[in-house]
């Protein structure tokens, strides 16, 4: 049985689920500032148009300057692992190795890593979390070009050299699906590209081709990084390397065969888009059949490098959706319609689960068990870390502070997901760790500061003071038992 407590994981104590040691950790995005200049793909003007309240992540929760305090919070809670992201332009401001290494950026990450280790907290490091250096976007279109593969390899090589003696868990990419979908299908996120016929706020693009091209180059960049690490560093540094994918679990809208097949296609076009190539060397057959020539092909050599290019799989799970057979669209080709699936969060007027603050997040805890069992069966039973799981509430500063700190819904969310996670482990899924999104309230992409995911409250009105919510106290107690 799962013992809620017995050491936990983002803590030094760790609790055990069956034979597995489960880590519970938190991740906070790093401030995207290099010597006072905002890094990333969009200008501040464009950012203000895209992000709630016109806010930006220049300072966010300022972990850059407050990392000692934040590590102290982790230590006090009893956490034993912390997942954070390294900013590519903070290491290579010009994007390329020949543009020079920012020693101040390297020093910041050294300081953070050393402070974590001094407190018995293991760093889990993500190498790419959407912040492509602006110079590479301007020079050749970023991940639209195969040139990005070599530049990414050079960047991660610096990270392996500088930090690999202490970092033992590397994640190449965070949610490549999200990068493709929001950046090149809907244009909601940087670089804001999509098909003109969709009549969205985009700066050029083609939603029927570009997401597939970008995904292809992300997979090749990931595989190149893994190959480099395995050949040059792994034997001496004794670490492991993987990738983090996001997955929605898709429930067939009905027992009809067409809807069951639609749910399987939805999974192929979501997690299978990336997990199939890195497991078997090619894209899912359903994607080949439906996207046709718009889906790039791996050469024989590329397929061999891509296949098996991970030591572990990171999985971000938040929510689930119903999947229903859809007819072929009359519109121009788009990733949105290629799968022939209608996704909905309601069936007969009843939602699949309660909606959180974010409209996309409906609470469906059993989905975490379902997707884990699916991955175990279809993708060779990989070693898995749950690298994100969490729920948000609205940022309402007019409420009394005590009410803002009383996040009982979040406690219930994690308790239920951990219960289903325990069931998956009892059924043989090799889950080794569980990371909560997130340790602190923070800048949440296009939502800005309008929602709060943290188990620790950040008071944006009084100097970014950190205050534990009830969920933080619950986790601390949970990890001590």
Long-range contacts from 283-288, C-beta under 8 angstroms, 24+ separation: 286/339, 287/338
| H helical segments located in 207-306 | 210-228, 234-237, 257-267, 273-280, 285-291, 300-306
Q: Is 120 exposed, middle or buried (0-12, 13-18, 19+ CB in 10 A)?
A: middle
Q: In 3D, which of 443, 436, 429, 448 has the Cα closest to residue 474? A: 436
Q: Do the beta carbons of residue 219 and residue 278 sit within 8 Å?
A: yes
Q: In 3D, which of 43, 67, 69 has the Cα closest to residue 56? A: 43
Q: Do the beta carbons of residue 391 and residue 413 sit within 8 Å?
A: yes
Give, in degrees to the nearest 5, the angle at Cα 438 between 433 and 443.
145
Q: Which two tokens stand for residue 91?
A: 């290491």
Q: Do the beta carbons of residue 275 and residue 371 sit within 8 Å?
A: no
Q: What are phi and psi of 125, to 5 degrees?
A: -110, 125
Catalytic residue chosen out of the listed positions 210, 276, 388, 444: 388
Q: What is the dihedral of CA 149, 154, 160, 162, to 10 degrees?
A: -150
Question: N- to C-terminal Cα distance for the chain?
Answer: 14
Task: Report the distance separating Cα 305 and Cα 180, nearest Å.
Answer: 22
Q: Is 66 exposed, middle or buried (0-12, 13-18, 19+ CB in 10 A)?
A: middle
Sequence-distant (6+) residues with CB within 8 A of 138 are none
Is 393 assigned a catalytic role?
no
Task: Report the distance separating Cα 134 and Cα 141, nearest Å.
Answer: 9
Catalytic residue chosen out of the listed positions 175, 210, 393, 444: 175
Sequence-distant (6+) residues with CB within 8 A of 99 are 92, 93, 135
Q: Which two tokens stand for residue 282?
A: 């090619």
Is 231 assigned a catalytic role?
no
Q: In 3D, which of 35, 49, 139 has the Cα closest to residue 87? A: 35
Residues recognised as catalytic: 175, 388
């Amino acid at each position: 049985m799962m013992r809620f407590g017995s050491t936990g994981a983002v803590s030094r104590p760790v609790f055990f689920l069956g034979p597995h040691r489960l880590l519970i950790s938190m991740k906070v995005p790093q401030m995207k500032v290099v010597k006072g200049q905002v890094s990333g793909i969009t200008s501040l003007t464009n950012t203000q148009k895209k992000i709630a309240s016109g806010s930006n992540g220049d300072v966010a929760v300022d972990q850059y300057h407050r990392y000692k305090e934040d590590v102290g919070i982790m230590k006090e809670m009893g956490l034993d692992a912390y997942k954070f992201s390294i900013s590519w332009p903070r290491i290579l401001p010009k994007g390329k190795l020949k543009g020079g290494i920012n020693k101040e950026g390297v020093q910041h990450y050294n300081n953070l890593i050393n402070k974590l280790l001094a407190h018995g907290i293991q760093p889990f490091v993500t190498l790419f979390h959407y912040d492509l250096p602006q110079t590479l976007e301007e020079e050749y279109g970023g991940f639209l070009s195969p040139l990005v593969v070599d530049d990414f390899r050079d960047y991660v090589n610096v990270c392996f050299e500088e930090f690999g003696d202490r970092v033992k868990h590397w994640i190449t990419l965070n949610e490549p699906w999200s990068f493709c979908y929001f950046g090149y299908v809907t244009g909601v996120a940087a670089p804001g590209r999509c098909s003109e016929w969709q009549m969205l706020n985009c700066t050029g693009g083609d939603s029927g081709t570009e997401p597939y091209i970008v995904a292809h180059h992300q997979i090749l960049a990931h595989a190149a990084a893994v190959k480099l690490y395995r050949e040059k560093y792994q034997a001496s540094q004794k670490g492991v390397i993987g990738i983090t994918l996001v997955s929605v679990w898709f429930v067939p809208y009905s027992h009809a065969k067409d809807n069951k097949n639609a749910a399987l296609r939805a999974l192929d076009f979501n997690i299978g888009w990336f997990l199939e190539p890195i497991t078997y060397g090619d894209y899912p057959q359903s994607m080949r059949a439906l996207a046709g020539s718009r889906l790039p092909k791996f050469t024989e050599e590329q397929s061999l490098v891509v296949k098996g290019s991970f030591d572990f799989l990171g999985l971000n799970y938040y929510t689930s959706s119903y999947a229903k057979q859809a007819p072929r669209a009359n519109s121009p080709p788009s990733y949105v319609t290629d799968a022939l699936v209608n996704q909905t969060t309601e069936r007969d007027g009843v939602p699949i689960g309660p909606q959180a603050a974010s409209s996309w997040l409906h609470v469906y805890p059993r989905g975490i068990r379902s997707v884990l069992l699916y991955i175990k069966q279809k993708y060779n039973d990989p070693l898995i870390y749950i690298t994100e799981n969490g729920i948000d509430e609205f940022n309402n500063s007019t409420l009394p502070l005590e009410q803002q700190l009383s996040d009982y819904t979040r406690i219930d969310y994690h308790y239920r997901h951990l219960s289903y996670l325990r069931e998956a482990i009892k059924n043989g899924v090799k889950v080794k760790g569980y990371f909560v999104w997130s340790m602190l309230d923070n800048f949440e992409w296009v939502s800005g500061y309008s929602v709060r995911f943290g188990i620790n409250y950040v008071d944006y009105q009084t100097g970014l003071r950190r205050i534990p919510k009830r969920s933080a106290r619950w986790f601390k107690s949970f990890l001590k038992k």
